[in-house]
Amino acid sequence: MTAAATTPAAVRIEGLTKSFGDVHVLRGVDLTVEPGTILALLGSNGAGKTTLVRILCTLLQADAGTAAVHGHDVAASPAEVRESISLTGQFAAIDEVLSGRENLVLVARLRHLADPGAIADALLARFALGEAGSRRAGTYSGGMRRRLDIAMSLIGDPPVVFLDEPTTGLDPQARIEVWQAVKELAAAGTTVLLTTQYLDEAEQLADRIAILHEGVIMHSGTLAELRRLLPPATVEYVEKQPSLEDVFLALTEAGR
């Protein structure tokens, strides 16, 4: 038996269902996320992405089916699951009155970790926030807030991180900053389950993509595998004009 065969999946979901009254949000979700990978859960608003994440984080109970995170059943062992994960929601959970460094130190102290100051300084450097560490977090840009939020979620080195639409409302440059932070997470061995409704975000970040629609996983696979579901397009030569995002990023980078 190979090592891969004996290593449990970082996230394993089988037949998960959840309803709110007469509204059936999840209708039998099956999904596996391998350790050390980024899986993008792609779906439109109301597809059930956040509900699924909340169940995996033990914030909601499923009606039926099973789910395990880092080898722990979310229903039978919620405390062990919570010790193994971190969740970054759609809105930054930072204290705007405190400085960036103070936010990190506070979380490290709440987790009863040794040397909170050293942990904070290391994360500030890792997420390119060292120069802004002493500034009040309320003065940070959107991208800086989100990077600080992700940094706070990594205190304690959780093996599995859930990012629920982390770039919602961010400008193009801030989105790229967050993308880089997510890529660095996976490069360091952290498993990331990322929910998003942005197709380009899934293309940029994910090792595998799962499409959630009307409460079920319609398809999952690599980007190349999903592309093969459609017939190849006829290739014609056209002059490619820069997108507005290309122009925005080029001009703002040039002005730095």
Q: What is the pLDDT of residues 59-110, one digit of tens each?
A: 999 999 999 999 999 999 999 999 999 988 766 678 999 999 999 999 999 9
> Residue 200: which residues within 8 A CB-CB, separation 6 or more?
none
Give the pLDDT confidence score for residue 57 in this predicted structure: 95
95, amino acid identity: D
Contacts of residues 248-251 at CB distance under 8 Å and 24 or more positions apart, as own/partner, are: 248/172, 248/173, 249/172, 249/173, 249/176
The three-class DSSP label of residue 94 is coil
Q: Is the pLDDT of residue 252 over 70?
A: no
**Residue 189: exposed, middle, or buried by beta-carbon count in 10 A (0-12, 13-18, 19+)?**
exposed
Pairing mode of beta strands 11-20, 23-33 = antiparallel
Residue type, position 168, single letter: T
Q: For residues 126 and 110, what is the distance between their CA atoms, to the nearest angstrom? A: 21
Task: Calculate the CA 53 to chain-centre distance.
Answer: 10
DSSP-assigned beta bridge partners for residue 20:
23
Quote the percentage of the chain above a pLDDT of 90.
Answer: 54
pTM (two decimals):
0.82
Residue 250 has pLDDT above 90, yes or no: no
**Please, which residues have CB within 8 angstroms of residue 11's CB and are 6 or more apart in sequence?**
31, 32, 33, 39, 56, 67, 68, 69, 160, 191, 193
Answer whether 140's CB lies under 8 Å from 128's CB: no
Superfamily of domain 7-91+158-254: P-loop containing nucleotide triphosphate hydrolases (3.40.50.300)
